[in-house]
Amino acid sequence: MNLQTAQMVLQIATLLYFISMSGYILFLFNQKKIYQKTAFNLILAAVAFHFISMMIYTMATQHVPIQNLSQSLSLAAFFLGCMFLFFQYKFDLKILGVFASILLFAIMVIVWILPEALVEKNIVLKGFWLYSHIVLVFTGEASLALACGAGILYLLQEKGIKTKRPGFFYKRLPSLDFLDNVGYTCLTTGFALLTIGLVTGFIYAKVIWGRFWNWDPKEVFSVGTWLVYAALLHLRLYSGWRGRKSAIMTIIGFFIIIFTFIGVNMLLGGYHQTFIK
């Protein structure tokens, strides 16, 4: 059990993500169920390998693999895979796999491209509150990523119907109602997880630094992201922002998440800095 094994297993997982993506793209074009089924099982296998790789790493180094940006992204991909499996199981929205598998593979490519940063032993990165914080925020953001995927599919389908030119996607995508529903469920799930995730983050900050709020840029942007989603949910519930507007908002929201995830630390620094070395 050493780092090389962990790397190798992660390579297998990446390869599986890639084949799965190819399968989903084939499915998008010729709609054969066998491709979708195979691709789905491949994601399942990839997530399993991904998990094993992280376990080996943890055992070898006595650290959870969130020590640098590459590892955090890899962890994000893992949680995205998990959430995709969960929502696929719940809704059976086959076409969402196209979005999820492309995103998964893209993240993994970035994981491999990023230079291996030196991992310092950081005693701060331990404890129950931290792990809850990480799991909740990552699963929350993964759900919101899937909400964005559902939003993109919604817009594709909506455009065809609105402009009265049902095209390539018309037959391949399910009904607007259904896509909206999936997006909404992903959104509420993600929002709930993110909310609790932020709270655990504050508690963790209190435990480590003695204060709930430190004006760390990442804190500020995370709360900003949270407010955007809160506003979207409010508009949806009380002002009827459903359908197209809601879909556009989830897509914008996801871009803000990506910026908060990567951009803030790179540009502004702060104590989340460690994760992006």
Scanning 163-216, the segments in alpha helix (DSSP H) are 168-172, 176-209
> 127 or 166, CB closer to other proteins?
166
Question: In the structure, how many helices (H) and strands (E) does the chain have?
Answer: 10, 0
Nearest to other proteins of 105, 241 (CB atom): 241
Establish if 177 lies at the interface with other proteins (CB under 8 A): yes
Binding to other proteins, residues 195-254 (CB under 8 A) = 240-245
Question: Using CB under 8 A as the criterion, what x/- string covers residues 130-169 for binding other proteins?
Answer: ---------------------------x---xx-x-x---
Q: How far is the CB of 239 from other proteins (least distance, A)?
A: 8
Nearer to other proteins, 121 or 164 (CB): 164
In order of 139, 158, 170, 175, 188, the CA distances from 192 in angstroms are 10, 27, 32, 26, 6
From the list 171, 210, 215, 267, which residue makes contact with other proteins (rule: CB under 8 A)?
171
Complex with other proteins: residue 173 or 205, whichever CB lies closer: 173
92 binds other proteins per the rule CB under 8 A: no
Distances 248 to 4, 57, 226, 242, 277 between C-alpha atoms, Å: 43, 39, 16, 10, 32
The structure tokens 């997530």 sit at: 47
Interaction between residue 176 and other proteins (CB under 8 A): yes
Please give the DSSP secondary-structure letter assigned to residue 273: G
What is d(CA 241, CA 222) in angstroms, rounded to the nearest whole number? 23
Task: Give a three-class secondary structure readout of 216-237.
Answer: CHHHHHHHHHHHHHHHHHHHHH
In the complex, minimum distance from the CB of residue 164 to other proteins, in angstroms, rounded to a whole number: 5
> Interface with other proteins by CB under 8 A: which residues?
157, 161-162, 164, 166, 170-171, 173-178, 181, 240-245
